[in-house]
Chain A
Amino acid sequence: MQTLIENFSERIREAAARRTPLRLRGGGTKDFYGCSLEGELLETGPYRGVVDYEPSELVITARCGTPLAEVERTLDQGGQMLAFEPPHFGERATLGGCIAAGFSGPRRAYAGSARDYILGARLLDGRGQDLRFGGQVMNNVAGFDLSRLVTGSCGSLGLLLDLSLKVLPKPEKELTLSFECTDAQAIERMNQWAGRPLPLSASCYLQGRLHLRLSGAHSAVDAGVVKLGGEQVPDAGDFWRDLREQRLPGFGGTLWRLSVKSSAPPLGLPGSSVIEWGGALRWIATDAPAEQIHAAARNASGTAARFRGGARTEPPFLLTAAILELQRGLKATLDPDSILNPGRLHPQI
């Protein structure tokens, strides 16, 4: 494996010397995401395998090319899981791609996001330097939190090598309830219920129905069902998986992702919408102009980003001049020659 790292490092140094961009790629399942895909391909797949996993430490360390499915299988054998429930978007998804994209799934509003669970990252920066940030322990405040910063950076700050993540035990029991209601009622209820001590672990409103998942000890889930009412959905595992993988209706066409205040009323944008994360995530499939979507997000105290489809050369999200300058400064710190996935996250970064 050390030889592989040296090869990666050599390629990065060479690319930096020639100032020719590299395109880092795990399984390629997220090629749809972000802007520019330019650059010579550097495949991370061969650098794979779980490095360390001890269930009682609640930590797994694996190499970037490890298939996400393999990570999940390993955890499953220890009765544990990735609590942020990442989407795969294809069988070839790797752990490196998962963290570089920084996506989180249905459990996010209740258990936390990818960046909440990252503990440490070993990476090669744009000079090919082998750097280690964070570690394999939970409480760790030595140095700036670079492992969280690289989560969601779309490979633009470094080639992620080894990643350490906090993991959690799988719940004893999971059960899904469904309610017929309007979108406004669903938002109201999701927020009200999240303010009560109920074992919620996912929520979704689509096609006139609110779905709620309860997870935890048998006793807690059973007590929750009594308090909430609604109809029980049999075999709901598939529903949440299909939602996570965007295989349900409502995710077609140009897809926008709006991250807003959870209690914000329905956004009133044209097109179809799916609501997740207790109201804090609104997916909108629409051909409406970008300005209209950004304005709606702003009104709801949040932000919008183009997620899938649309014009890939356009900036997918808005940044103020000051924030853009800082982001470019961070990029220049880790990748001074701008050769790691330049323009993938945003045309100007």
Chain B
Amino acid sequence: MGKIESVTSPEHGHAHEQGPADPALRALLVERLAEVLDAAGLLCEPEELRPYECDGLSAYQCVPLVVALPANEEQVCKCLAVCHELGVPVVARGAGTGLSGGALPHAQGVTLGLSRLSRILEVDPLARTARVQPGVRNLAISEAVAPLGLYYAPDPSSQIACSIGGNIAENSGGVHCLKYGLTVHNVIRLRVATIRGEILELGSDGLDTPGYDLLALMIGSEGLLGVVTEITVRLLPKPECAQVVLAAFASVAEAGAAVAKVIGAGIIPAGLEMMDKLATAAVEQFVHAGYPLDAEAILLCESDGTTEEVAAEIAHVSEVMRASGATQIRTSRDDAERLRFWSGRKAAFPAVGRILPDYYCMDGTIPKRKLADVLMGIAALSRQFGLQCANVFHAGDGNLHPLIMFDANEADQAERAAQFGSRILELCIEAGGTITGEHGVGAEKIGEMCLQFGRGELETFLGVKRTFDAKGLLNPGKAVPTLHRCAEFGAMRVRRGQERFPDLPRF
């Protein structure tokens, strides 16, 4: 994806606030980190640092001061203690697949890569738990426990690459989270290193712990409260079988209504996804999933469970889809076909990337009943900004992923894409939803946080942050804006003449 210049614009104010690094401090930092890390664990040369300059949102780039790659928990703690003592920012990094710039480096900070902590420490088949290090890939857990008939349920589309530590930080979801929940619903215990380099145990091997729920607070905290060093996840028995219904609709509104009817009928499908015409067209060119290309929208609805249960549910779903005006209904005949139906959905992001060189993946959630309105709003914005936008949608959860297509080599397209994206998030807020369903705020949506929350909420978030990290060294500039940043953001919006909430307080 092309650069959106945001790294230096006041809108996101990042690199410009960070200024040049102090060479003496850098030398001291390198010396101190070298004492606690092994030879492979410290990267300082420009060509070694380059691969870490961005995460999955490559529009935002910044080279870190150094990269530390600890080999174990003890080294993580020692690195943190050094950074705390020297007052150096720390950005934790898992696999770098994040889509909101959460792992974007800090120009004067250490990027703390957790990829070497990649061991599955223990699997308990009877209690159905796995204790793993943060660098373990999401899919690797399910693969390791598959012989036991178990799996780890949250399945982000990036699951072959993303780390479980990153999943904790983002509270990641996946196409099956309507039925099986997000990361927060599937994790029972964490070991977390504080910025001072001390270990906290949150949660336990039981299902809850007394006192405030710090486990829930840590999940989704985007690396701002601590560095996760060990995770105990719950495993579920693999369903006996699964089947998918693919239904085509002549309008997005009808497809949206069908979603409401399926759920209204008392069905909680294992997955319920929508793709619009632009998305299916992009995908078909590329993966040949067999999607009907004349439909304005398609729904993929998966049922899993026992053979009897799936047969009954699939029949029920098909009936509801038909009654909701589906123009075509197909049911996967076998697992190969089921996977083929899903392959298109899972490859939607890269497929869209083949139409135009760049795409910008947005992530907002809305109440499902607002779907048709919001999609119409997005279509209007698409005309206004002169950029195409394909929509994929975790329909069951109301989580939208509009994919804005652009060519960064064309004049101002990247900037237009960024503005278009921001306007989509405003639509989500107006619809009673949220600016991020599962990709996190990161560096990207720090401005929109000022639209979704008022001063009191933001001050509370900042207070929570101070409780864990008084010096503000963990992932500074991400997830929670300062009130000053919000004032800047407001001023910038006024200049652009898109002041849409004139009655909102400005800080």
Q: Which residues of A contact B (CB under 8 A)?
A: 54-59, 79, 102, 108-109, 112-113, 115-116, 125, 129-133, 135-146, 148-149, 151-153, 157, 168-170, 172, 188, 191-192, 194-199, 216-220, 222-224, 258-263, 277, 280-281, 300-303, 305, 316-317, 319-320, 322-323, 326-327, 329-330, 332-334, 345-346, 349
Say whether B126 faces chain A, with CB atoms less than 8 Å apart: yes
A112 to B171, CA, bound (A): 16
Q: A144-B221, A317-B210 are in contact. Are A137 and B434 (CB under 8 A)?
A: yes
Interface contact B263-A56, CB-CB below 8 Å: yes
Q: Which of B127, B441, B454 has the most CB of A within 10 A?
A: B127
Interface contact A145-B456, CB-CB below 8 Å: no
Give me 15 other A-B pairs in contact (C-beta within 8 A), A115-B213, A148-B216, A197-B239 excluded.
A132-B457, A133-B457, A143-B449, A144-B220, A217-B308, A217-B312, A219-B306, A220-B308, A322-B198, A323-B200, A330-B217, A333-B460, A346-B211, A349-B211, A349-B212
Q: A54-B369, A277-B207 are in contact. Are A139 and B184 (CB under 8 A)?
A: no
Q: Which of A57, A131, A144 has the most CB of B within 10 A?
A: A144
Please, which residues of chain A bring their CB within 8 A of the CB of B128?
191, 194-195, 262
Interface contact B209-A303, CB-CB below 8 Å: yes
Q: Which of B208, B264, B453 has the most CB of A within 10 A?
A: B208
Please, which residues of chain A bring their CB within 8 A of the CB of B208?
113, 152, 259
Q: A125-B456, A143-B461 are in contact. Are A192 and B210 (CB under 8 A)?
A: no
Q: A56-B368, A326-B214 are in contact. Are A140 and B436 (CB under 8 A)?
A: yes
Interface contact B207-A137, CB-CB below 8 Å: no
User: Pick the contact of B216 from A149, A195, A281 — CB < 8 Å?
Assistant: A149
Interface contact A220-B463, CB-CB below 8 Å: no
User: Pick the contact of A219 from B170, B311, B367, B465 — CB < 8 Å?
Assistant: B311
Interface contact A195-B125, CB-CB below 8 Å: yes
Interface contact A58-B207, CB-CB below 8 Å: no
Please, which residues of chain B bring their CB within 8 A of the CB of A280?
206-207
Interface contact A302-B205, CB-CB below 8 Å: yes
Please, which residues of chain B bring their CB within 8 A of the CB of A79?
266
A148 to B202, CA, bound (A): 14
Q: Which of B239, B394, B398, B445 has the most CB of A within 10 A?
A: B398
User: Pick the contact of A142 from B149, B211, B263, B436 — CB < 8 Å?
Assistant: B436
A-B contact pairs, 21 of them (CB 8 A): A56-B259, A135-B434, A139-B438, A141-B171, A141-B440, A142-B435, A143-B453, A144-B464, A195-B237, A196-B237, A220-B305, A220-B308, A260-B206, A301-B206, A323-B211, A323-B214, A326-B200, A327-B214, A330-B467, A332-B467, A349-B211
Please, which residues of chain A bring their CB within 8 A of the CB of B170?
141
Q: A112-B181, A195-B126 are in contact. Are A281 and B397 (CB under 8 A)?
A: no
A55 to B212, CA, bound (A): 31
Please, which residues of chain A bring their CB within 8 A of the CB of B456?
125, 129-131
Q: Which of B207, B259, B441 has the most CB of A within 10 A?
A: B207
Interface contact B206-A303, CB-CB below 8 Å: yes
User: Pick the contact of B399 from A139, A146, A198 — CB < 8 Å?
Assistant: A139
Please, which residues of chain B bring their CB within 8 A of the CB of A199?
305-306, 309
User: Pick the contact of A145 from B124, B220, B313 — CB < 8 Å?
Assistant: B220
Say whether B177 faces chain A, with CB atoms less than 8 Å apart: yes
Question: 1/0 contact trace for B2-46 toward A, CB 8 Å?
Answer: 000000000000000000000000000000000000000000000
A223 to B306, CA, bound (A): 8
Interface contact A139-B306, CB-CB below 8 Å: no
Interface contact A303-B217, CB-CB below 8 Å: no
- Closest CB in chain A relative to B90 CB, distance in Å: 18
A194 to B461, CA, bound (A): 38
Taking CB atoms and an 8 Å cut-off, the chain B residues in 378-405 that contact chain A are 394, 397-399
- Nearest A-chain residue to B456, judged by Cβ: A129
Q: A136-B432, A197-B306 are in contact. Are A148 and B464 (CB under 8 A)?
A: no
**Lowest 9 A-B CB distances belong to which pairs?**
A259-B206, A219-B308, A333-B463, A139-B437, A329-B467, A301-B205, A302-B206, A148-B216, A169-B266
- Closest CB in chain A relative to B429 CB, distance in Å: 10
Say whether B376 faces chain A, with CB atoms less than 8 Å apart: no
Interface contact A169-B268, CB-CB below 8 Å: yes
Please, which residues of chain B bring their CB within 8 A of the CB of A332?
467
- Closest CB in chain A relative to B290 CB, distance in Å: 28
Please, which residues of chain B bring their CB within 8 A of the CB of A116?
181, 184-185
A59 to B432, CA, bound (A): 13
Please, which residues of chain A bring their CB within 8 A of the CB of B213?
102, 115, 148-149, 151-152
Please, which residues of chain B bring their CB within 8 A of the CB of A135?
365, 432-434
Taking CB atoms and an 8 Å cut-off, the chain B residues in 161-187 that contact chain A are 170-171, 173, 177-178, 181-182, 184-185
Please, which residues of chain A bring their CB within 8 A of the CB of B173?
139
Interface contact A57-B211, CB-CB below 8 Å: no
- Closest CB in chain B relative to A349 CB, distance in Å: 8
Interface contact B367-A136, CB-CB below 8 Å: yes
A76 to B183, CA, bound (A): 29
A199 to B202, CA, bound (A): 30
Say whether B160 faces chain A, with CB atoms less than 8 Å apart: no
- Nearest A-chain residue to B468, judged by Cβ: A326
Please, which residues of chain A bring their CB within 8 A of the CB of B127?
191, 261-263
- Closest CB in chain A relative to B385 CB, distance in Å: 24
Please, which residues of chain A bring their CB within 8 A of the CB of B205?
260-261, 300-302
Say whether B260 faces chain A, with CB atoms less than 8 Å apart: yes
Q: Which of B149, B170, B456, B460 has the most CB of A within 10 A?
A: B460
A144 to B479, CA, bound (A): 9
Please, which residues of chain A bring their CB within 8 A of the CB of B439?
141
Q: A113-B207, A220-B305, A323-B211 are in contact. Are A142 and B460 (CB under 8 A)?
A: no
Interface contact B209-A259, CB-CB below 8 Å: yes
Interface contact B305-A197, CB-CB below 8 Å: yes
Please, which residues of chain B bring their CB within 8 A of the CB of A144?
217, 220-221, 225, 461, 464-465, 480
A208 to B268, CA, bound (A): 36
Please, which residues of chain A bring their CB within 8 A of the CB of B283?
none
Interface contact B209-A139, CB-CB below 8 Å: no
Question: 1/0 contact trace for B340-374 toward A, CB 8 Å?
Answer: 00000000000000000000000001111100000
Interface contact A345-B211, CB-CB below 8 Å: yes
Say whether B498 faces chain A, with CB atoms less than 8 Å apart: no
User: Pick the contact of A259 from B207, B311, B433 — CB < 8 Å?
Assistant: B207
Please, which residues of chain B bring their CB within 8 A of the CB of A277?
207
Please, which residues of chain B bring their CB within 8 A of the CB of A140?
365, 434, 436-437
Interface contact A131-B217, CB-CB below 8 Å: no
A125 to B454, CA, bound (A): 14
- Nearest A-chain residue to B267, judged by Cβ: A169
Please, which residues of chain A bring their CB within 8 A of the CB of B463?
333-334
Say whether B245 faces chain A, with CB atoms less than 8 Å apart: no
Question: 1/0 contact trace for B256-282 toward A, CB 8 Å?
Answer: 000111011011100000000000000
Say whether B486 faces chain A, with CB atoms less than 8 Å apart: no
Please, which residues of chain B bring their CB within 8 A of the CB of A137?
365-367, 397-399, 432-434, 437
User: Pick the contact of A148 from B181, B184, B225 — CB < 8 Å?
Assistant: B184
Taking CB atoms and an 8 Å cut-off, the chain B residues in 196-232 that contact chain A are 198, 200-202, 204-214, 216-217, 219-221, 225
Please, which residues of chain A bring their CB within 8 A of the CB of B334?
none
